[in-house]
Chain A
């Protein structure tokens, strides 16, 4: 099968790889670019574990082909930390004991990041609805909802947010 050169920006760095047209973006990120933080949970676009941001929008990287991401700006879980400091969203999730096994975590972090960067004040029901595109089997979701709320507070600069 023929392969194509794919050039894209990942976490602020230009990256290049060679892939068959049928290669999914998630396999390209994980196998070709060694970014294994993004996980594969269902390969049919339901569980959200593979969520990454493509040009700012959350995308199921199992449903997108790598060739479709040519020229795009992709952000993955690996890009959130800065100089060894957790992103406030990561910090909030940690303080909220948001996750257990951690397999769904990268997808939730990226979905929540898109939500937070979009801004807007969501009530509990709206927030749960927005997060319903990602599946977690460990937590019962409450700790994740708490984490997103805390992150919004931390980002709003509310010191001492618990």
Chain B
């Protein structure tokens, strides 16, 4: 049986459906204490005296640790890979000043969470307020106060680049279309907040950290660094994780402080963030603005793009990758799968008194939104159909096709995806329906958008395994003939216990139920700085499992060949039994070989391999296909001009992620990402006022869409290269990357008769009514 490609039921589901999952908040260790953080109510203020005397005497309180206390027992947080950005060294909790509403100033460790929170209220902090830097304009003002004095200004990164012949392209243009496209601050908002249980053992000097993390090894390195402990004394464990979407790839100051607290009090300490803290202080994303100019011919041919970007990273830089890193991806991908003669991109990343930037599901998404929005604006200005503008400029995936920024686009299927999506949604029919509807006063719109994602990217991008050197896996045959796969991934909803077992079962030729996937224990999992992120699992982790399983299989067949006296080349494994290929003959169950190797190694022929465990690195050999994930999404909407509500009538996806490992899991990834993209446009906003006060600290203010708002999402797979052995490509981020453009284009199309200029991504009801001229701003 071939498991790859089948809707194999998820291994994870029995435990999560019966309430037997193991999330970090479910853990209860003997003598465990509970931590709570006191957080700043001000966006920017000097910290004066901190009086914790009453808190220290409160019932159940074991310790109160202020920023100054923690600074004495830990090293500051340092970012070693700055990617050219200014990065401060900062203590776990601030000692000089608070830098955003929610910045933690002290932690209480008590016998219960209730007592810890009670005691937080007894801590008195003298704040000397400073003016807040809460907007791009404020951050760029040379007279503005500094978020980090050592930076000298509030611009932490800037770069400019130029490709092709931008000046010539603009000189040859019939028209230059420009717009300032603004994306608002939103957040990842997994249903499980951040949290951890730190268990420092004073006897052995070892720290065991039970984490909710996407990257156990990355967290381990940060723990060792701030705790000033040797790496081998730090072990990070992660079991079930209640979602992350990028957030939990960044070791947070609170998590690190909990470890320091455990060492300080000599007992395990649990910290589970509440939802208000989460919305306020866990991480936020996507606040970017791009001034874009596009040089075009009157027939819609694109000639050049000039993009000027501002990114607001909030106060502290994300650890270990500063936000500047993601601007390089935006620069690379903004031109998309379209032909261009010239392109410039410049960016400034500013630091403000707001919550910290983190990666959120496709952190480069701004490139797709800007490109696909401006293409619609170009079409409208030229009086052309937006589908025709795209058709005129799309590459065909010919061998010579390239992004103007360099990478090969050979084999990219953007054009096919556009046609499939338009056909499926019935583009022309909807245009007719729209024209009729408009006569009756109905406000109907259609939008679509195309994206590409370098996951794993074309060959030149993944040489030697690419930026992170590929991915490792371990595969072991147990004495009972079952297979154990140890992955460097740290799944949190993606179903890797299922998909990686599908890959291994097929390769080894064993029943799916005989494969167990293990993750989340730095004592045994291979090193990966990332863990799960960047849609790496489908190609890189699957590839690592495949090559490791293959190597182990060769080893097993080598032993079997000796035992059966048949050449290894003439043997295969089917359903867990080694059999001669093609002809009936002596067979040997895997379990029997395993038994003999483990229990009676002396009976093996001399020189036989005795270690039934393989640990291989996959650096991309054998990847088939273009290396580009991508697709086109299309949706239709109806806007209620009485209420400003946008109703999505249909949402269609034509997606190419190469060979699909498990269609049900892939479709779940796509739909989840689309839902987040819809939420981003219509409902969600991590809003601040001009003083840096946070305005969206509950789920009544930060609106996560429900089943009533998210439509049915129809999916077509463009499985280019369906038989390629390593033709799997990333799909985790896709929906979230392209849905915002799809939805804003549809709303803009609906509002076009009203002269609406949709230059922003956040389109809640009041804004829709303003844009339609129903109400005035």
Contacts A102-B16, A141-B710, A142-B713 given; does A97 touch B275 at CB 8 Å: no
When C-beta atoms are compared, the residue in chain A nearest to B279 turns out to be A42
A38/B191 in contact, CB under 8 A? no
A residues near B20, Cβ cutoff 8 Å:
37, 78
When C-beta atoms are compared, the residue in chain A nearest to B59 turns out to be A1
A100 within 8 A of B: yes
A94/B706 in contact, CB under 8 A? no
Contacts A42-B699, A93-B17 given; does A129 touch B708 at CB 8 Å: yes
Cα distance A95–B26 in the bound complex, in angstroms: 26
Question: Which of B10, B18, B114 neighbours the largest number of chain A CB atoms within 10 Å of its CB?
Answer: B18
B residues near A51, Cβ cutoff 8 Å:
none
Cα distance A143–B493 in the bound complex, in angstroms: 14
A residues near B114, Cβ cutoff 8 Å:
20, 22-23
B14/A86 in contact, CB under 8 A? yes
B668/A136 in contact, CB under 8 A? no
B671/A142 in contact, CB under 8 A? yes
When C-beta atoms are compared, the residue in chain B nearest to A38 turns out to be B19
Contacts A86-B18, A100-B668 given; does A142 touch B712 at CB 8 Å: yes
> What is the 8 Å Cβ interface bit string for chain A, positions 24-44, against chain B (1 contact, 0 not)?
000000110011111111111
Interfacial residues of chain B within 152-204, with CB under 8 A of chain A in the complex:
189-193
B18/A78 in contact, CB under 8 A? yes
A81 within 8 A of B: yes
B residues near A31, Cβ cutoff 8 Å:
28
A102/B699 in contact, CB under 8 A? no
B96 within 8 A of A: no
B12/A37 in contact, CB under 8 A? no
Q: How far in angstroms is the closest Cβ of chain A from B286? A: 16
- Name A137's contact: one of B18, B21, B664, B672 (CB within 8 Å): B672
B675 within 8 A of A: yes
Q: How far in angstroms is the closest Cβ of chain B from A146? A: 10
B492/A101 in contact, CB under 8 A? yes
B13/A93 in contact, CB under 8 A? yes
Contacts A90-B17, A94-B10 given; does A140 touch B671 at CB 8 Å: yes
A residues near B15, Cβ cutoff 8 Å:
102
A144 within 8 A of B: yes
Question: Which of A22, A109, A138, A144 neighbours the largest number of chain B CB atoms within 10 Å of its CB?
Answer: A138
Interface of chain A: mostly helix, strand, loop or mixed: loop
A44/B275 in contact, CB under 8 A? yes
B residues near A94, Cβ cutoff 8 Å:
9-10, 13-14, 17
Count, chain A residues at interface, CB 8 A: 58
- Name A103's contact: one of B190, B675, B708 (CB within 8 Å): B190
B191/A103 in contact, CB under 8 A? yes
Cα distance A49–B193 in the bound complex, in angstroms: 12
Q: How far in angstroms is the closest Cβ of chain B from A18? A: 13
Contacts A46-B700, A97-B668 given; does A102 touch B18 at CB 8 Å: no
B211 within 8 A of A: no
B589 within 8 A of A: no
B25 within 8 A of A: yes
B493/A100 in contact, CB under 8 A? yes
Q: How far in angstroms is the closest Cβ of chain A from B372? A: 20
Cα distance A22–B113 in the bound complex, in angstroms: 12
When C-beta atoms are compared, the residue in chain B nearest to A105 turns out to be B16
> What is the 8 Å Cβ interface bit string for chain B, positions 235-252, against chain A (1 contact, 0 not)?
000001111010000000
Cα distance A1–B112 in the bound complex, in angstroms: 13
Count, chain B residues at interface, CB 8 A: 58
A residues near B707, Cβ cutoff 8 Å:
127-129, 131-132, 134, 136, 141, 144-145
- Name B192's contact: one of A39, A80, A133, A139 (CB within 8 Å): A39
B residues near A137, Cβ cutoff 8 Å:
189-191, 243, 245, 672, 676, 704
> What is the 8 Å Cβ interface bit string for chain A, positions 110-145, against chain B (1 contact, 0 not)?
000000000000000001110111111111111111
A61 within 8 A of B: no
B764 within 8 A of A: no
Q: How far in angstroms is the closest Cβ of chain A from B677? A: 10
A66 within 8 A of B: no
Contacts A131-B707, A137-B243, A139-B672 given; does A103 touch B19 at CB 8 Å: no
B674 within 8 A of A: yes
B645 within 8 A of A: no
A77 within 8 A of B: yes
When C-beta atoms are compared, the residue in chain B nearest to A91 turns out to be B17
Question: Which of B492, B672, B675 neighbours the largest number of chain A CB atoms within 10 Å of its CB?
Answer: B672
Cα distance A42–B671 in the bound complex, in angstroms: 23
Cα distance A133–B706 in the bound complex, in angstroms: 8
B residues near A140, Cβ cutoff 8 Å:
668, 671-675, 710, 713, 735
Cα distance A106–B13 in the bound complex, in angstroms: 12
Q: How far in angstroms is the closest Cβ of chain B from A106? A: 5
B18/A81 in contact, CB under 8 A? yes
A101/B710 in contact, CB under 8 A? no
Cα distance A109–B665 in the bound complex, in angstroms: 20
Cα distance A94–B8 in the bound complex, in angstroms: 11
> What is the 8 Å Cβ interface bit string for chain B, positions 212-256, against chain A (1 contact, 0 not)?
000000000000000000000000000011110100000000000
A residues near B275, Cβ cutoff 8 Å:
41-44, 47
Interfacial residues of chain B within 1-59, with CB under 8 A of chain A in the complex:
7, 9-10, 12-21, 23, 25-26, 28, 59
Q: How far in angstroms is the closest Cβ of chain A from B665? A: 7
- Name A132's contact: one of B19, B28, B708 (CB within 8 Å): B708
> What is the 8 Å Cβ interface bit string for chain B, positions 749-773, against chain A (1 contact, 0 not)?
0000000000000000000000000
B523 within 8 A of A: no
B residues near A104, Cβ cutoff 8 Å:
191, 242
A residues near B700, Cβ cutoff 8 Å:
44, 46
B residues near A109, Cβ cutoff 8 Å:
17
B494 within 8 A of A: yes
Contacts A22-B114, A101-B192 given; does A131 touch B706 at CB 8 Å: yes
B17/A39 in contact, CB under 8 A? no
B residues near A136, Cβ cutoff 8 Å:
191, 707
Cα distance A44–B709 in the bound complex, in angstroms: 21
B residues near A129, Cβ cutoff 8 Å:
707-708
What 8 A-B pairs are tightest by C-beta distance, nearest first?
A37-B19, A103-B242, A102-B16, A101-B493, A140-B671, A77-B19, A100-B493, A140-B675
CB-defined A-B contacts under 8 Å, sample of 11: A30-B25, A78-B19, A100-B493, A100-B495, A102-B16, A105-B21, A135-B191, A135-B704, A137-B191, A137-B676, A143-B668
Given contacts A77-B18, A140-B710, 9 further A-B contacts (CB under 8 A): A23-B114, A37-B19, A93-B13, A93-B17, A100-B495, A106-B19, A109-B17, A134-B707, A143-B671
- What residues make up the interface of B, taking CB atoms closer than 8 Å to A? 7, 9-10, 12-21, 23, 25-26, 28, 59, 114, 189-193, 240-243, 245, 272, 274-276, 492-495, 664-665, 668, 671-676, 698-700, 704, 706-710, 712-713, 735
- What residues make up the interface of A, taking CB atoms closer than 8 Å to B? 1, 20, 22-23, 30-31, 34-44, 46-47, 49, 76-78, 80-81, 86, 90, 93-95, 97, 99-106, 109, 127-129, 131-145
